[in-house]
A and B are shown apart, each in its own frame.
Chain A
C-alpha cells in the first residue's frame, strides 16, 4: 500500500521555456490533489512527470509505501493508474476485448461487473470504433478500475462526459480515496472531494 507521494522542488522545461520551478507538494493516502492552471501551464507535463514518462529538469519524486521509499521512475510506474488525454482504444477491438486486454496486461482478467459500473454493459460486444467520445472515456475509466492501482493520475477526468458520466467519475474518485488511494487530477472543474488544489 502506498502511504504518500511527495514532490520536492520539481522543475519542468519544455524546449527553452520554463513551465514551473521549485514545485513541492505531498499527497497522502486517501487524499486528492487538483492541479489547476491555464492552458499550457504544465498540468499534463506534471502528470507525465509523476508517471515517469518525463524526467524532471530538477527535483525528485518519492513514493512512500509501508515497506520502502521508491525513487526510481520505472518502479513508481507500477503503482500508477493512468488516465491520459487519449483513451488507448483500438477501433478493431470490441469493448470487452479491449477491457480484457488491459486487465490481463495488468495481470488479472477483468471483473465481471466493471463494464456495468461504467454503464457500458450493453455495448460490450460493440467494436470500439462505434463508441462516442463519452463512451470511450467510460471505457478508459473501466480500464483504470481494472488495473487496480493505488495512485491515480487523471488528466481532465471530466472531459467529454455527460452529467451522469461526471457523477460517475466523482463517485469513483470518492471511493478510491475512501479505500486509501491517492488521486492527482489536472482539471478545470472542482473535483468535489474536499481536496487541496495546486495552482500552476
Chain B
C-alpha cells in the first residue's frame, strides 16, 4: 500500500468508526429534503421546479457538516506533524483527505439523492441529471471545503467560520448543478443540460486539481503556529 492509499483508508476507517461522517450527513440531507416539501405544501409543479436547487443546497450543507474536522482532528492530536514529515507530500495528503471525505460523504449523498427526488415529484430524466450533477459536483464540495478546513484548523470553533469561507466559493457548483436539472425540465436536454454539466465538470476538475495546493500551503502556515 502506498502512503497515499494508507492515509485514504485510515480516514475512511475513522469516518466509519466515529459515525460523524456519512451517517450524520445523510440524515441531515434526508431531513432537509423532507422538511422543504412539508413547508412548501403539496404543489407538485412548484416542488419539481425547486427540487434541483433545494437538493443541491441540501447536499452542500450536509457535506459541510463533517468538513471542519478534515484537518482539525489530525492537527489537535499531533498526527498532522507526523504526516507533514512523512514521505507523502502535504499536497498529496490533502488530496487523500479530500478523496476520503468525498467517498464517505459526497458519494453517499449522491446515491441517496434519487430517493429524495421522489418527494419533489421530479421526473426520471431530471432525477438522472440531478444524480449525475451531484456525482460530478460533490468532489468540488470536498475539495473547496478542504481549503476552508485548512484555513480554520487551528481555530477552536472553526466549524462556524468554515461555511462563510466555503459557501460563496461553491456558488458555481450550485448554479451549474441546479441549472443542469432546470435545463432538462425546460426541455433543453440535448445541448443545454449537457452544457451546464460540462461547466460543472470543469469547475469540479479545477477545484480538485488546485485545492490540494492551497490546502497544503495553509496547513504549513498553521504548523508554524
**A residues neighboring B (CB under 8 Å):** 51-55, 77-78, 80-82, 84-90, 92-93, 97, 101-102, 104-107, 143, 147
Partner of A87, one of B14, B78, B224: B78
Give the distance in Å from the alpha carbon of A92 to the alpha carbon of B1 in the complex. Answer: 21
Establish whether residues B81 and A51, one from each chain, have CB atoms under 8 Å apart when the complex forms: yes
Contact sample, A vs B, 30 pairs, CB 8 Å cutoff: A51-B85, A53-B84, A53-B223, A54-B224, A77-B85, A78-B85, A78-B87, A81-B85, A82-B82, A84-B81, A86-B76, A86-B77, A87-B78, A88-B74, A92-B13, A92-B17, A93-B10, A93-B13, A93-B14, A101-B6, A101-B10, A104-B1, A104-B6, A105-B3, A105-B82, A105-B87, A106-B3, A106-B87, A107-B3, A143-B82
Which residues of A are found within 8 Å of B78, using beta-carbon distances? 84-88
**B residues neighboring A (CB under 8 Å):** 1, 3, 6-7, 10, 13-14, 17-18, 73-74, 76-79, 81-88, 223-224
Establish whether residues B14 and A92, one from each chain, have CB atoms under 8 Å apart when the complex forms: yes
Establish whether residues B84 and A105, one from each chain, have CB atoms under 8 Å apart when the complex forms: no
Which residues of B are found within 8 Å of A147, using beta-carbon distances? 86
Give the distance in Å from the alpha carbon of A188 to the alpha carbon of B201 in the complex. Answer: 57
Give the distance in Å from the alpha carbon of A87 to the alpha carbon of B74 in the complex. Answer: 11
Residue from A87, A101, A102, A105 with most neighbouring chain B CB atoms (10 Å): A105
Partner of A90, one of B1, B7, B14: B14
Establish whether residues A53 and B77, one from each chain, have CB atoms under 8 Å apart when the complex forms: no
Which residues of A are found within 8 Å of B18, using beta-carbon distances? 92
Establish whether residues A105 and B6, one from each chain, have CB atoms under 8 Å apart when the complex forms: yes
Establish whether residues A87 and B77, one from each chain, have CB atoms under 8 Å apart when the complex forms: yes
Establish whether residues B81 and A107, one from each chain, have CB atoms under 8 Å apart when the complex forms: no
A107 and chain B: residue at smallest CB distance: B87
Give the distance in Å from the alpha carbon of A143 to the alpha carbon of B78 in the complex. Answer: 13
Residue from A52, A55, A85, A86 with most neighbouring chain B CB atoms (10 Å): A86
